[in-house]
């Protein structure tokens, strides 16, 4: 049975959702539970997107609402409680070198976070080396390469190659995504999978890491 | 233009513009072969727009924006900062590929211009990106959610005093200007003109003058290139550019996230602003077509696709103002060249409302077969060559693919073989294979005589 907050978020009722959170927090409500309810709402948004009932703006808007809810509840979450919020696994995401498009990447980031993964967002125009270093530093087992331009194909290929050259390739699965990605691009880059939208990125990651 | 332009209907105006394109005498063609190539290219394009290309040979248009630079072995940064080097690269493209149509030298823009302006709206090779990157827009809220009213009241004033100072850091001082309409009569003349004397405004005006000089200089090079290309028989792909008002607001003013918020929180402002901006977009395309003497007006469509918005949102927020711009341009005899990004499978029925024989629709992810069927007798369509095909296939595979596409869609009388996306690099032999795709095929049935 969906909670009141998850329903409000699923229905993209921003003002009502934020007022609900304010009232709950004022009444001493459980901040972590509120965040969990909000994430459930996001999951339903993802389902509606997959069904063709919601579109990209709905995903983006729901993410904006969740961000505001997270800002409200954050001060009420103790560091210990936050640490106990178990994650399903770590995923590194970034827009590859030479490309500064971030809308698609940001959608993947917040949907992965909603689904319970810990996401290391490297940002945009990410140098090849930074992906390699991030894998070493975080131990992430999944890497998501985003790129909108056709020039991104070469940057994705170089990034996959660099991960391979550093001996880390057997330890990670690599997915790619963006406006021009298809099977031919996947083969060219040497990545393991591609997602045509943020939902598919979650599906692929879940298959690799569980969730 | 003819003195009785106001008495011509849109079809007659379109014919007049193509006749003007055919009647060029300056510069003289380098050879009879070049003259024939040019004439054939213009007529083939015109006939395709009229859905009456029965030659069995389709226009071919790779969207190879910066390809000439990569082909010539110069970096994109050099192409943007070194006009003569860019000119040489684009000329080499003509030498090596002998295309009928090409994307102009202005695609390389001017890095110097962006430096003068202190551009924040873009990052480019040499301006925040490495030398081999493409220039890209910085997606940000350049107009605040509460500023729609101000934009609606006075778009030019908003541009001069709010938008330009925000996107071009060197023009920040122009924000101190007062509205132009305040400059009038006596006694208010002196006090209302005084803001133009502010130090920061003077600085901004100096920047505008320097920017104007750089833009003029670089455009002179572009115009000279077009003259040389024309003398050799090649035609630049379009004469100007315009935008769908929704995209103008979303791409240029509110940014993607800002636009999304407006779609939910104040959709009526989007509708009103799009309506207000539509005539300005007609004017922008028409001015460029007039100035260049070329009737085609390029319009990249970004956010109206099947994945970005529901059909209800498309019908309310995107289509009405886009249609106004397209019809406005068509009424003046211009030909909107809609480059439709994403999928438009569910939008094709709306495109059926376009004036017949007056537009080109290049498709990216849309089902081309469905588009051909739905837009029969309505629009010249184009596309059919995915970027991945040009990048990763062998030249024989590219040739076979392109021939198959031409044979499938050529008979409809209005088809342009084109890349489905902008391509800055690809193997030269693959581009040659695409450019050589025409084969004589059986001409299709003749559509109604639209002239």
Q: Report chain B residues whose CB lies below 8 A from the CB of A56.
A: 307-309
Task: Give the number of C-alpha atoms closer than 13 A to the C-alpha of residue A15, restricted to the C-beta side.
Answer: 2
- CA-nearest residue to B257 within chain A is A60
User: A154: which 2 tokens?
Assistant: 């070469």
Q: Report chain B residues whose CB lies below 8 A from the CB of A97.
A: 130
**Closest approach of A155 to chain B, Cα-based (Å):** 10
Asked whether the beta carbons of residue A182 and residue B386 sit closer than 8 angstroms, the reply is yes
**Closest approach of A182 to chain B, Cα-based (Å):** 8
Residues ≥6 apart with Cβ < 8 Å to A190: A157, A160, A161, A164, A174
Q: Which of B79, B141, B145, B264 to mutate to test the interface with A (most CBs of A within 10 A)?
A: B264
Helix, strand, or coil here: B31?
A: coil
Q: Does B386 touch chain A (CB under 8 A)?
A: yes
**Closest approach of A62 to chain B, Cα-based (Å):** 10
Percent of chain B with pLDDT over 90: 94
Q: Report chain B residues whose CB lies below 8 A from the CB of A18.
A: none
Which pLDDT score, from 0 to 100, does residue A82 have? 59
Percent of chain A with pLDDT over 70: 95
Q: Does B228 touch chain A (CB under 8 A)?
A: no
User: B375: which 2 tokens?
Assistant: 């837009």
Q: Give how far Cα B105 sits from Cα of A109, B132, B216, B221, B237, Å.
A: 38, 18, 14, 8, 11
**Closest approach of B194 to chain A, Cα-based (Å):** 42
Q: Does A78 touch chain B (CB under 8 A)?
A: no
Query: pLDDT per residue over B197-207, tens digit each?
Result: 999 999 999 99
Residue A157 has pLDDT above 50, yes or no: yes
Q: What pTM was computed for the model?
A: 0.94
Residue A85 has pLDDT above 70, yes or no: no
What does DSSP assign to residue B122?
E
Smallest Cβ–Cβ distance between A56 and the set B265, B307, B386 belongs to: B307
Q: Report chain A residues whose CB lies below 8 A from the CB of B425.
A: 150-151, 154
Is-contact B325 B354, C-beta < 8 A? no
Query: pLDDT per residue over B125-180, tens digit each?
Result: 999 999 999 999 999 999 999 999 999 999 999 999 999 999 999 999 999 999 99
Q: Average the pLDDT over each of A78-82, B87-91, B310-314, B355-359 and give the range with the smallest value.
A: A78-82
Is-contact B379 B360, C-beta < 8 A? yes
Query: pLDDT per residue over B34-88, tens digit each?
Result: 999 999 999 999 999 999 999 989 999 999 899 999 999 999 999 999 999 999 9
Helix (H) or strand (E) holding B277: helix B267-292
Q: Report chain B residues whose CB lies below 8 A from the CB of A103.
A: 139, 256-257
Average pLDDT of the segment spanning B433-450 = 58
Residues ≥6 apart with Cβ < 8 Å to A103: A60, B139, B256, B257
Percent of chain B with pLDDT over 70: 96
Asked whether the beta carbons of residue A180 and residue B387 sit closer than 8 angstroms, the reply is yes
Q: Does B136 touch chain A (CB under 8 A)?
A: yes
Query: pLDDT per residue over B368-422, tens digit each?
Result: 999 999 999 999 999 999 999 999 999 999 999 999 999 999 999 999 999 998 8
- CA-nearest residue to B131 within chain A is A98
The CA dihedral of B104, B362, B63, B118, to the nearest 10 degrees, is: 60
Average pLDDT of the segment spanning B259-271 = 97
Q: Report chain A residues whose CB lies below 8 A from the CB of B130.
A: 97-98
User: A202: which 2 tokens?
Assistant: 């979650």
Average pLDDT of the segment spanning B338-352 = 97
**Closest approach of B48 to chain A, Cα-based (Å):** 28
CA angle B35, B39, B40 (to 5 degrees): 115
Average pLDDT of the segment spanning A121-135 = 97
Which pLDDT score, from 0 to 100, does residue B64 have? 85
What does DSSP assign to residue B443?
-
Helix (H) or strand (E) holding B34: helix B32-49
ipTM: 0.90
Q: Report chain A residues whose CB lies below 8 A from the CB of B261.
A: 61, 64
* Residue of B40, B78, B73 whose CA lies nearest to B235: B40
Asked whether the beta carbons of residue B425 and residue A101 sit closer than 8 angstroms, the reply is no
Asked whether the beta carbons of residue A98 and residue B392 sit closer than 8 angstroms, the reply is no
Residues ≥6 apart with Cβ < 8 Å to B360: B48, B49, B296, B335, B336, B337, B338, B379, B380, B381, B382, B416
Which pLDDT score, from 0 to 100, does residue B445 have? 38
Q: Does B140 touch chain A (CB under 8 A)?
A: no
Average pLDDT of the segment spanning B291-308 = 96
């Amino acid at each position: 049975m969906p909670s009141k907050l998850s329903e409000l978020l699923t229905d993209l009722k921003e003002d009502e959702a934020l007022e609900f959170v304010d009232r709950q927090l004022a009444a001493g409500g459980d901040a972590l539970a509120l965040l969990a309810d909000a994430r459930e709402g996001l999951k339903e948004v993802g389902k509606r997107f997959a069904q063709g009932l919601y579109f990209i703006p709905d995903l983006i808007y729901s993410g904006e609402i969740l961000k505001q809810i997270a800002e409200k509840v954050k001060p009420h979450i103790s560091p210990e409680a936050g640490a106990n919020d178990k994650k399903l696994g770590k995923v590194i995401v970034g827009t590859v070198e030479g490309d500064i498009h971030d809308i698609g990447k940001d959608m993947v980031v917040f949907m992965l976070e909603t689904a319970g993964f810990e996401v290391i967002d490297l940002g945009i125009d990410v140098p090849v080396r930074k992906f390699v270093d991030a894998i070493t530093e975080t131990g992430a087992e999944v890497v998501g390469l985003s790129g909108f331009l056709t020039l991104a194909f070469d940057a994705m290929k170089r990034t996959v190659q660099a991960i391979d050259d550093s001996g880390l390739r057997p330890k990670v699965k690599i997915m790619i995504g963006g406006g021009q990605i298809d099977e031919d691009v996947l083969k060219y880059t040497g990545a393991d999978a591609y997602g045509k939208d943020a939902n598919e990125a979650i599906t692929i990651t879940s298959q690799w890491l569980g969730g | 233009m003819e003195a009785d332009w106001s008495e011509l209907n849109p079809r007659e105006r379109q014919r007049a513009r193509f006749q003007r394109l055919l009647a060029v005498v300056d510069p003289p063609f380098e050879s009879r072969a070049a003259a024939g190539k040019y004439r054939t290219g213009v007529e083939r394009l015109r006939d395709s727009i009229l859905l009456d290309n029965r030659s069995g040979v389709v226009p071919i248009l790779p969207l190879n924006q910066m390809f000439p630079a990569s082909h010539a072995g110069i970096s994109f940064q050099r192409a943007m900062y070194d006009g003569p080097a860019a000119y040489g690269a684009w000329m080499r493209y003509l030498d090596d590929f002998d295309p009928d149509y090409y994307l102009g030298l202005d695609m390389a823009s001017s890095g110097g211009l962006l430096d003068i302006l202190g551009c924040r709206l873009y990052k480019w090779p040499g301006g925040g990106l490495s030398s081999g990157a493409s220039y890209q827009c910085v997606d940000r809220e350049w107009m605040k959610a509460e500023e729609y009213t101000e934009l609606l009241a006075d778009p030019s004033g908003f541009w001069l005093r709010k938008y330009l100072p925000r996107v071009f850091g060197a023009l920040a001082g122009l924000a101190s200007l007062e509205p132009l309409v305040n400059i009038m009569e006596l006694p208010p003349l002196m006090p209302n003109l005084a803001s133009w004397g502010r130090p920061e405004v003077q600085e901004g005006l100096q920047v505008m003058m320097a920017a104007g000089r750089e833009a003029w200089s670089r455009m002179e090079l572009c115009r000279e290139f077009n003259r040389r290309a024309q003398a050799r028989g090649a035609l630049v792909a379009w004469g100007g550019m315009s935008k769908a008002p929704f995209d103008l607001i979303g791409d240029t003013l509110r940014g993607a996230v800002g636009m999304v918020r407006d779609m939910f929180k104040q959709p009526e402002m989007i509708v009103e602003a799009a309506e207000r901006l539509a005539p300005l977009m007609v004017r922008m395309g028409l001015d460029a077509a007039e100035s260049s003497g070329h009737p085609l007006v390029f319009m990249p469509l970004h956010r109206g696709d099947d994945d970005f918005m529901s059909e209800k949102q498309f019908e309310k927020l995107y289509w009405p103002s886009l249609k106004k711009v397209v019809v406005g341009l068509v009424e003046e005899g211009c030909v909107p060249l809609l480059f439709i990004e994403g999928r438009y499978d569910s939008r094709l029925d709306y495109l059926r409302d376009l004036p017949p024989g007056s537009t080109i629709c290049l498709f990216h992810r849309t089902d081309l077969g469905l588009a051909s069927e739905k837009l029969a007798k309505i629009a010249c369509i184009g596309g059919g060559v995915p970027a991945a095909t040009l990048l990763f296939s062998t030249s024989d595979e590219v040739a076979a693919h392109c021939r198959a596409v031409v044979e499938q869609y050529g008979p409809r009388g209005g088809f342009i073989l084109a890349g489905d996306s902008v391509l800055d690099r690809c193997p030269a032999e693959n581009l040659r294979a695409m450019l050589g795709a025409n084969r004589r095929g059986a001409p299709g049935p003749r559509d109604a005589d639209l002239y």
